[in-house]
Structure 1
Amino acid sequence: MTGKEIREKFLKFFEERGHRILPSASLIPANDPSLLWTAAGMVPFKPFFTGTAIPEFRRVTTCQKCLRTPDIESVGRTARHHTFFEMLGNFSFGDYFKEKAIPWAWEFVTEVLRLPPDKLWVTIYLDDDEAFDIWHREVGVPAERIVRMGKDTNFWEIGVGPCGPCSEIHVDLGEERGCGSPDCRVGCDCDRFLEIWNLVFIQFYRDEEGNYSPLASKGIDTGMGLERVASVLQGVPSNFDTDLFREIMDFTSSIAGVRYGADKKTDMALKVIADHCRAVTFAVADGALPSNEGRGYVIRRLLRRAVRFGRLLGLHEPFFYRVSDAVIRQMGDVYPELVTYREHVLKVIRSEEERFGETLAQGTEILNALISEARAAGSTVISGEDAFRLYDTYGFPLELTKEMAAEEGLTVDEEGFKRALEEQRERARSARVEMEYLSERDAFYKSLRDELGESIFVGYESLEARARVRAVLKEGRRVGAAAAGEEVEFVLDVTPCYAEAGGQVADHAVVRARHDLEVEVRDVFRPVEGLIVHRGQVRSGILRENDEVRVEVDARRRRDTARNHSATHLLHKALKEVLGPHVNQAGSLVAPDRLRFDFTHYTALSPEELRRVEDLVNEKILENLPVETYLTTIDEARKMGAIALFGEKYGERVRVVKMGNFSLELCGGTHVRSTAEIGLFKLVGEGSVGAGLRRVEAVTGAGALGYLRAREEQLDQVASLLKASPDEVVARVEALVRENRELEKECETLRARIARFEVQSLLEQVKDLNGAKFLAAKTSAPDMDSLRAMVDLLRERLGSAVIVLASPVGGRVNLVAAVTKDLLPRGLHAGKLIKEVAAVVGGGGGGRPDMAQAGGKDPSRLQEALERAYAVAASQLKG
């Protein structure tokens, strides 16, 4: 079977057994800051297993795209390690349990995949007799083929929360794939017994003390690796030999002019490129962008590792984006987002690949400097720390560092490199945030919701409501009542208050009751699905549970926020129209006073593009488009072309916001009734927030009016200073700029003349330093550039010398040191020299052996510092 056939058969099998087929979730987990990536099929359903969200379907099946990165260095070296892979799974949220999950798994493996039962082995948790009985008595697996395993392999748990035993299905690939040991059996580290499917039985809850209690609502979470199953069914020795990889590897082979299977090093390079390209392509299509931290760093690291292996194949020009196109051609029919965002993906990858080419050049320059330093110091070894810094910071492979060092007769401290690498891994391990299945805070709010029932939000229809206080909370516990002056949280059965979500800030409100109660609401949030919590201060009276109250939302704040939210939808569409369909929302803030919108784009917007975006939004405002909101199914919304945002979680029923025939988005926020209510839209800022990520800020309505008035006042102030009318300001400023440029040129000419005179007088201060010319002097250079220029003039005049110049500027000291190249073999080093000199004036700095600069904070010790320069240079020569 092809990979595609396996995928389709799995989903159809479980659909026929009452499961809803859901599309793969994004690789970027929705609303879960504890995770960088979706690393397992259950991740999108984590809230359903914890109980913080309520599932729409009790039975679900998916083919989930996954990304894991702990074993990047193993990819290409082994048959099974991947960064990107597809996980087939079936899930039950409080519906069926082991009695159905186990027989279905066996039926699919033996009857649909037609794997021979005598080649299959089953593992269960040590004391899971229930699973044993189902496997043996109902399914018919011989008892000797059911292996009981320990907690380290067959019990699934991550901290506090739901957990349970596992049962795995293994395939015996034959003695020839084994290690040859007489003890070789299921669980051996060799390749003979391959685990293809893991069934997790979520039946316990683990508390903070490590106690396990049975869950009232049990769950099933299974995972079958598509690549592994394909390797078994296609009878190939590794996942990379399946049709899921070969097409990509064959494409890379063709452009590199190499053949897969001819050489181990070539094969490894082809495997790494194929695996990493799948990961990078899918991640970028899901909204990730290369950067120096978080997800972006993972993308950058994978791309750079793949490009380095490409160079081993002779691919020195950008090629990775072409391999990405091959990935899209192969997998785009299954994952349509690859086709939708193809241009965006290829552009991001090519740009990053070209940037890495520049980084490699920079790394080469640094390595050459390290080689020079080692030679100057009489060493034949590049330190492990320096080699690791090149690897970690510049993506410079150890093999390349060793090769270039060997050409110069040097070696690399590989043990030191390994120590530095392990130290970094240890730091990463200790800093890694483990996925908490259910935090103590979430557990508290979940139990509260289960007890009180779900909150009813009526804020779309009304800004006022009568409600009953269901709970009064303080510091994570129910207190029953709160008096005047106390900060408090409380839950109402009905509320018109919008809880912060989707970038829109929460409403402010006032809660009142007859007995002089008044509570100022400053925040509203949803800690778990279905529960709305209000936070604020009791101004007067006592807030008690079961009180009948009246809630009044701050209407002006809500209207201003709604204007900005509706303008955000118009802005999103306008950016797509002006810049292209690759533009996608990557974050937003919708507040009453402004809006902020982050989106995918590669370059800064030109003034003309900004004008076109602003004009288009205002055009749609003036058209007075009706703003309609309605509920429909997610499938129907997609058919209509509604935009769904990266990282958002949507149920089967979704809320659509439609603005005429211009904008159509899924959104749970509050909006105006027609675009004309927005009033005026004005862009007030544009900038970068990361590689391939831009941000614009804007104001609407009263905020736009205030912004324009402030600009008008500024113009009037400038006109007053120029003693001109506002209409004459531009002409007057242009004249001033021209005059200023002429004066600056005149100043530069005068400075150059003064510098030449000063250089002449400085030459008279040159001393002898063990046969070398030495000059340390104070100058009048006004800035660091002028000081460096003076050093260059002196080097030209002296030919061979050590020069240290200093100039006091505005309460600080600028310092520059230079050593001509003929003196470097004698042990002189400008960087080390300037570091010690700067210390005298309370500063620091450094640089290359031939040129360095520094700064200091104490001009009063300048003469002492210059005298120190002679002593340091003398000691370097002596050494």
Structure 2
Amino acid sequence: MQWRSGKEIRSLFIDFWVSKGSKHFPSFSLIPDDPSLLFTIAGMVPFKPYYLGIQKPEAPRAVTSQKCVRTNDIDNVGRTARHHTFFEMLGNFAWGDYFKKESITWGWEFLTEVIGLEPDRMSVTIYEDDDEAYDTWHKLVGIPDQRIFRFGKDDNFWFMGNQGPCGPCSEIMYDQGPEFSCGRPECAVGCDCDRYLEIWNHVFTQFDLQKDGTLVPLPKKNIDTGMGLERLTSIVQRVRTDFETDLFMPMIERACAMGGIHYGYSPKTDLAVRVIADHVRSVAFMIADGILPSNDGRGYVLRRLLRRAARFGRLLGVDRPFLLDFLPDVIGLMGDPYRELIDNRLTVEQIIDVEEKRFGRTLEQGTELLDGEVARLRGAGRTELPGDVAFVLYDTYGFPLELTMEIADENGFTVDRAGFDREMTAQRERARASSKQKRSALAGDVYSELNERLGDTPFTGYAMAESENSVAAIIVDGEEADSLEEGMEGEIILDSTAFYGEKGGQVGDTGVLSSAGGKAEVTDTVIRCRGLVVHKVKVLSGSLAVGDPVRSCVNDERRRAVRRNHTATHLLHEALGRVLGGHVRQSGSLVGESSLRFDFTHFEAMTREQLIAVEMEVNARILENSDLTVEESDMEHAREMGAKALFEEKYGDVVRVVRIPDFSAELCGGLHVASTGEIGCFKILREEGIGSGTRRITAVTGLVAVRLFQKLWRHVNDLGAMLAVDENAVLEKVEQLQAEVKVLRRKRDEEKMNALSAGLQESLHWFALPEGVQGVYGSFGAVGADALREIGDRLKNGKREDALVILLASVDGDNVQVVSMADDMAVEKGVSAGKIVREASKMLGGGGGGRPNLAQGGGKDPAALPKVFEAFQGWVEGQIRS
């Protein structure tokens, strides 16, 4: 068998199935259309509607190398030879076309003749009753009977759900040799060890599972196969694990160089570099597909993987942000064929950079939490860290259990492993439940049935706002109907339409449908099931029936406003990239008639100067009055033109490129002005953050913007009149008044503080402590934390020789605020204001904390304050002794 690279194996697989008449589909997004799945977890996921009969296949045969993410076994990544979060699944598929004979014999041909696997090393498993598969393997392929194994439904029968398409499957196993064996006498095909390695599963979808459990033969039988590229590559390259293939080794070698270690010398460091290599691939691909860090869903998984990789780097001794160093390796290995890594490189770089730096701060918070728990438990005489605390550190702060155990051991503690394992098991069960592809939310409905029958609705609205059509179908309450009467609401599908269905952020058109016998208001237009355009209507008079000829009239004034805002989003997108940098990518938009909303990737609030620069750039292009050009192209040619592709959009073979000459080009199916001058003017209303790494701009154009300018000018005029100054001097006058108010407030605060200080000594209680430390505490009326800190600063600045630790409180009704301070000498002797405030706040029924020299907190139980002051001296003495 010839050594081949992972890239070469991928190409050979695709080329082979194309030679058998299959259509090659480039990898689909990691974000699936199936709402029951967080990620694309298998090659068949993008084609699930074909297996369910919801959609008609674009081609009867297909081949893909599909990027996938699975995280239900994340803790096994790096510990085993085969577990990954990101992987590629090689698959060939057929719908009502070839079946078992072709799938099996062609698959065997690929493995033995193209890849060169040794036939006598391979065995197969089949479903126990599948004699057709047995005959194909035995009689046509020639595999001996002793290397064909029959298993039951748990191993060799595939179900999509409790009902629907299902069928037997056949797995091809490769004997890697006795050196891979677990060593048990009973080791054979079916053993969990790595000797007999499953490399390719062929699923024969031939039955329809009924409610009562019976299997009814499908009228059209289907093929679905899946083979891990990483696994096949490890066999071809004769290495023990997937991580030793050329798909991973560049990242592993870089991680080893960073940590100053050698791969294969230590299980602990091997685990770390494997996790980093695996996770950095996942992170790069997830961001390139438009997934951004967040606290739930896909974004949470992304954040967790990134932090986990960063934490394992620290276990190698790398104490700086380092993940960006791996991006050239990932792009070098995977940029061909995954162009999205190249197109979105700047975005990937910025998100990784900012998120990893942010994790450094989170790591400090987790360490503080752990230190606090250790101190609390030690004070209670305990030496075991609870398992749920260890799990919170793991799940929320990214602490691997090994790190928590190491820190705990340094403090003389152990960790409740059983409690941690219980929490981990519960999380794994939740993850598995959410990632099982057989729990599909996809189902056929009236829209899919109509799309199957009528096809996609032709759109004629690019060139016209009125058209002559006929009613192709009517829907009422989710069911087809023959007609709609006056006063009724429903949905109408036309044979073609000038109405734009909501898509790509652009709202749907409104207007009127009229026939000889009736008239209906179109309140919205949406797209259902691929390209079926659905008009939501209310019948104003008469009736409309299936087959009626109708005149379609779009509300063109509203549409022109939408066109202005849509073209303005293209100008805004390009202007943001020019002002902020190439990392900017659109992550969402809403184009309406009154305003536009544009979401984009950026990791800090824009400055006033940047917002002004963007506004000026957009308005300059509007004044140029450039004519827009629109052309249809294939994706590759569009990319060569520099056209931007948007994260959330899925594109077909033919794409529509909207160009603003000498400025921007984007893939877009929406409606636009003929020339930029039609936009009139552009004004940003606000810029705000809507999530980690995502900003939002809301803006207006045309007459809406003009009315806004007029309104603002009226306000400035009114302010000038109120302040008795010219409009140009309003700002200067307000600043002058603010300065005067600031002086008056400062005088007032000084007077309050002087009055408080006059009776200060009567409110304070002093005591002496070991090691030359002096303590003082006191309670005051309803003063703020700022006043307590001011009192503390005055005490610290007083003349004295001893070290000083302070605890001050203020009571306002049921609210208690506490501030603790320790000078440098006290801190050197072991005093921590942060720990004092944590203990005090707990007794007061609240929370708080801070640094060793300054901390604040509070609670809702003022009656506990005397007990806090009683315990204060003991806390400080304990800190000094320890």
Is the structural similarity TM-score above 0.5?
yes
C-alpha displacement of 1:514: 3.1
Q: Is the CA contact (8 Å cut-off) linking 1:161 and 1:438 kept in structure 2?
A: no
- Is 1:287 paired with 2:283? no
What corresponds to 2:866 in structure 1? Answer: 870
Which of 498, 506, 513 pairs up with 2:500?
Answer: 498
C-alpha displacement of 1:297: 1.9
- Is 1:184 paired with 2:187? yes
Secondary structure of the structure 1 residue equivalent to 2:729: helix
C-alpha displacement of 1:392: 2.0
C-alpha displacement of 1:801: 8.0
After superposition, the C-alpha distances for 1:733-780 in whole angstroms (9 at most, x for unaligned) are 1211221222232233223212312424424999xxxxx999775514
Distance in 1 (CA, whole Å) between partners of 2:417 and 2:423 is 10
Q: Is the CA contact (8 Å cut-off) linking 1:788 and 1:816 kept in structure 2?
A: no
Distance in 2 (CA, whole Å) between partners of 1:345 and 1:530 is 32
What corresponds to 1:391 in structure 2? Answer: 394
Secondary structure of the structure 2 residue equivalent to 1:456: coil
After superposition, the C-alpha distances for 1:508-542 in whole angstroms (9 at most, x for unaligned) are 12223333x33222222222123222223333334
Question: Do the aligned partners of residues 878 and 108 (structure 1) sit closer, same or farther apart at CA in structure 2, a change above 3 Å counting?
Answer: closer
- Is 1:142 paired with 2:147? no
- Is 1:422 paired with 2:425? yes
Distance in 1 (CA, whole Å) between partners of 2:538 and 2:714 is 38
Question: Do the aligned partners of residues 199 and 254 (structure 1) sit closer, same or farther apart at CA in structure 2, a change above 3 Å counting?
Answer: same
Secondary structure of the structure 2 residue equivalent to 1:328: helix
Secondary structure of the structure 2 residue equivalent to 1:60: strand
Q: Is the CA contact (8 Å cut-off) linking 1:348 and 1:692 kept in structure 2?
A: yes
Which of 103, 109, 112 pairs up with 1:107?
Answer: 109
C-alpha displacement of 1:434: 5.6
C-alpha displacement of 1:622: 1.9
Q: Is the CA contact (8 Å cut-off) linking 2:765 and 2:778 kept in structure 1?
A: no
Which of 486, 490, 501 pairs up with 2:488?
Answer: 486
Q: Is the CA contact (8 Å cut-off) linking 2:525 and 2:535 kept in structure 1?
A: yes
Which of 108, 119, 122 pairs up with 1:120?
Answer: 122
Which of 299, 306, 312 pairs up with 2:302?
Answer: 299
C-alpha displacement of 1:554: 1.4
What one-letter code is carried by the residue in structure 2 that aligns with 1:489?
E
Secondary structure of the structure 1 residue equivalent to 2:559: helix
C-alpha displacement of 1:870: 3.4
Question: Do the aligned partners of residues 229 and 800 (structure 1) sit closer, same or farther apart at CA in structure 2, a change above 3 Å counting?
Answer: closer
Distance in 1 (CA, whole Å) between partners of 2:515 and 2:603 is 54
In the alignment of these two chains, the number of paired residues is 852
What corresponds to 2:771 in structure 1? Answer: none
Q: Is the CA contact (8 Å cut-off) linking 1:205 and 1:213 kept in structure 2?
A: yes
Q: Is the CA contact (8 Å cut-off) linking 2:844 and 2:859 kept in structure 1?
A: no
Distance in 1 (CA, whole Å) between partners of 2:380 and 2:578 is 61
- Is 1:263 paired with 2:266? yes
Q: Is the CA contact (8 Å cut-off) linking 1:804 and 1:866 kept in structure 2?
A: no
Q: Is the CA contact (8 Å cut-off) linking 1:25 and 1:44 kept in structure 2?
A: yes
After superposition, the C-alpha distances for 1:256-285 in whole angstroms (9 at most, x for unaligned) are 221112222222222112111222222223
What one-letter code is carried by the residue in structure 2 that aligns with 1:230?
T
- Is 1:507 paired with 2:512? no
Which of 20, 30, 39 pairs up with 1:37?
Answer: 39
What corresponds to 1:841 in structure 2? Answer: none
Q: Is the CA contact (8 Å cut-off) linking 2:366 and 2:397 kept in structure 1?
A: yes
Question: Do the aligned partners of residues 119 and 834 (structure 1) sit closer, same or farther apart at CA in structure 2, a change above 3 Å counting?
Answer: closer
C-alpha displacement of 1:40: 1.9
What corresponds to 1:639 in structure 2? Answer: 640
Q: Is the CA contact (8 Å cut-off) linking 1:86 and 1:226 kept in structure 2?
A: yes
C-alpha displacement of 1:302: 1.6
Task: Provide structure 2 residue ranges, at least 5 long, that are not aligned to the other structure.
Answer: 768-773, 876-882
C-alpha displacement of 1:179: 2.9
Q: TM-score scaled by structure 1?
A: 0.89
What one-letter code is carried by the residue in structure 2 that aligns with 1:144?
Q
What one-letter code is carried by the residue in structure 2 that aligns with 1:731?
E
What corresponds to 1:83 in structure 2? Answer: 85
- Is 1:11 paired with 2:7? no
Which of 156, 163, 177 pairs up with 1:174?
Answer: 177
- Is 1:853 paired with 2:857? yes
What one-letter code is carried by the residue in structure 1 that aligns with 2:373?
L
C-alpha displacement of 1:239: 1.1
What corresponds to 1:696 in structure 2? Answer: 697
Distance in 1 (CA, whole Å) between partners of 2:777 and 2:247 is 69
What corresponds to 2:68 in structure 1? Answer: 66
C-alpha displacement of 1:819: 10
Distance in 1 (CA, whole Å) between partners of 2:31 and 2:90 is 18
What corresponds to 1:475 in structure 2? Answer: 477
C-alpha displacement of 1:833: 5.6
C-alpha displacement of 1:190: 1.5
Distance in 1 (CA, whole Å) between partners of 2:557 and 2:129 is 63
C-alpha displacement of 1:830: 5.7
After superposition, the C-alpha distances for 1:310-359 in whole angstroms (9 at most, x for unaligned) are 22322222222212332223333443333444444333323322222222
Task: Please give the residue correspondences for 1:459-608 in structure 2 after superposition, counting only pairs within 5 Å.
Answer: 459-515=461-517, 517-608=518-609
Secondary structure of the structure 1 residue equivalent to 2:101: helix
Secondary structure of the structure 2 residue equivalent to 1:495: coil
Q: Is the CA contact (8 Å cut-off) linking 1:778 and 1:807 kept in structure 2?
A: no
Q: Is the CA contact (8 Å cut-off) linking 2:256 and 2:263 kept in structure 1?
A: yes
Secondary structure of the structure 1 residue equivalent to 2:143: coil
Question: Do the aligned partners of residues 567 and 138 (structure 1) sit closer, same or farther apart at CA in structure 2, a change above 3 Å counting?
Answer: same
After superposition, the C-alpha distances for 1:638-690 in whole angstroms (9 at most, x for unaligned) are 33332222232222222222222422222111111222211112222222223
Q: TM-score scaled by structure 2?
A: 0.89
Q: Is the CA contact (8 Å cut-off) linking 1:46 and 1:437 kept in structure 2?
A: no
Secondary structure of the structure 2 residue equivalent to 1:731: helix
Identical residues among aligned pairs (%): 47
What corresponds to 2:812 in structure 1? Answer: 807
Distance in 2 (CA, whole Å) between partners of 1:332 and 1:635 is 15
What one-letter code is carried by the residue in structure 2 that aligns with 1:88?
L
C-alpha displacement of 1:81: 0.7
Task: Please give the residue correspondences for 1:818-837 in structure 2 after superposition, counting only pairs within 5 Å.
Answer: 834=841
What one-letter code is carried by the residue in structure 2 that aligns with 1:402?
M
Mean CA deviation greater in 234-243 or 635-644 = 635-644
After superposition, the C-alpha distances for 1:144-189 in whole angstroms (9 at most, x for unaligned) are 3332332233233332554433222111222332233444332221
Question: Do the aligned partners of residues 208 and 630 (structure 1) sit closer, same or farther apart at CA in structure 2, a change above 3 Å counting?
Answer: farther
C-alpha displacement of 1:623: 1.9
Secondary structure of the structure 1 residue equivalent to 2:648: coil
Distance in 2 (CA, whole Å) between partners of 1:53 and 1:627 is 35
Task: Please give the residue correspondences for 1:302-381 in structure 2 after superposition, counting only pairs within 5 Å.
Answer: 302-381=305-384
What corresponds to 1:861 in structure 2? Answer: none
Question: Do the aligned partners of residues 332 and 451 (structure 1) sit closer, same or farther apart at CA in structure 2, a change above 3 Å counting?
Answer: closer
Distance in 2 (CA, whole Å) between partners of 1:408 and 1:378 is 13
Distance in 2 (CA, whole Å) between partners of 1:208 and 1:647 is 37
What corresponds to 1:412 in structure 2? Answer: 415
What one-letter code is carried by the residue in structure 2 that aligns with 1:624?
N
What corresponds to 1:769 in structure 2? Answer: none
Q: CA RMSD in A?
A: 3.3
Distance in 1 (CA, whole Å) between partners of 2:779 and 2:665 is 70
What corresponds to 2:736 in structure 1? Answer: 735
Q: Is the CA contact (8 Å cut-off) linking 1:585 and 1:600 kept in structure 2?
A: yes
Mean CA deviation greater in 846-855 or 10-19 = 846-855
After superposition, the C-alpha distances for 1:846-876 in whole angstroms (9 at most, x for unaligned) are 65899663466xxxxxxxx655543687799
Question: Do the aligned partners of residues 185 and 566 (structure 1) sit closer, same or farther apart at CA in structure 2, a change above 3 Å counting?
Answer: same
What one-letter code is carried by the residue in structure 2 that aligns with 1:293?
D
Question: Do the aligned partners of residues 413 and 488 (structure 1) sit closer, same or farther apart at CA in structure 2, a change above 3 Å counting?
Answer: same
Task: Provide structure 1 residue ranges, at least 5 long, that are not aligned to the other structure.
Answer: 767-771, 839-843, 857-864
Distance in 2 (CA, whole Å) between partners of 1:704 and 1:205 is 58
- Is 1:195 paired with 2:198? yes
Distance in 1 (CA, whole Å) between partners of 2:317 and 2:848 is 38
What one-letter code is carried by the residue in structure 1 that aligns with 2:558?
R
Secondary structure of the structure 1 residue equivalent to 2:29: coil
Q: Is the CA contact (8 Å cut-off) linking 1:819 and 1:829 kept in structure 2?
A: no
What one-letter code is carried by the residue in structure 2 that aligns with 1:84?
F
C-alpha displacement of 1:4: 2.2
Question: Do the aligned partners of residues 53 and 711 (structure 1) sit closer, same or farther apart at CA in structure 2, a change above 3 Å counting?
Answer: farther
Secondary structure of the structure 2 residue equivalent to 1:7: helix
Q: Is the CA contact (8 Å cut-off) linking 1:776 and 1:869 kept in structure 2?
A: no
Q: Is the CA contact (8 Å cut-off) linking 1:3 and 1:243 kept in structure 2?
A: yes
Question: Do the aligned partners of residues 202 and 867 (structure 1) sit closer, same or farther apart at CA in structure 2, a change above 3 Å counting?
Answer: closer
